[in-house]
Amino acid sequence: MSDRVLSTATAREAITSFQAIVNGPLLEQISQLNSKGQILSQPNNWDGHLAIQFRSHWADTHQKLLAIQQSLEELRRQIHQINQNIMQAGGNS
């Protein structure tokens, strides 16, 4: 394990961008996909042979999208905390 702590301006810009993407359009788009998928998974909204195929896969896809949202949010929190810890340790380069 290294004793080095470093957070360059490039890293801080990447962290800011990462957080903005996760907090903004990415999580919102995943939420929209889930919402539209829920609508399409209802046979009274969309039916037929291929719609049935979609429904057979939707529950798994829905759960994966929820897990992706949670993982991205957790990763965003971790990145923020790690950078705070680095900055407090004097890693501002």
Q: What is the pLDDT of residue 1?
A: 63
Percent of the chain with pLDDT over 90: 67
Three-class SS of residue 56? helix
Contacts of 45 (CB under 8 A, 6+ apart): 39
- Burial profile 37-54: b = 16 or more Cβ within 10 angstroms, e = fewer: beeebeeeeeeeeebeee
Instruction: For the chain, give the mean pLDDT.
Output: 91
Phi, psi of 42 (to 5 degrees): -90, 120
Phi, psi of 78 (to 5 degrees): -65, -45
Residue 2 pLDDT exceeds 90: no
Residue 92 pLDDT exceeds 80: no
CB 5, CB 90: distance < 8 Å: yes
Question: Terminal CA-to-CA distance of the chain, rounded, Å?
Answer: 20
Residue 33 pLDDT exceeds 70: yes
Residue 78 pLDDT exceeds 90: yes
Q: What is the pLDDT of residue 60?
A: 96
More confident residue, 70 or 91: 70
Q: 71 pLDDT band (50/70/90 cuts)?
A: very high
Every domain of the chain and the residues it spans: 38-84
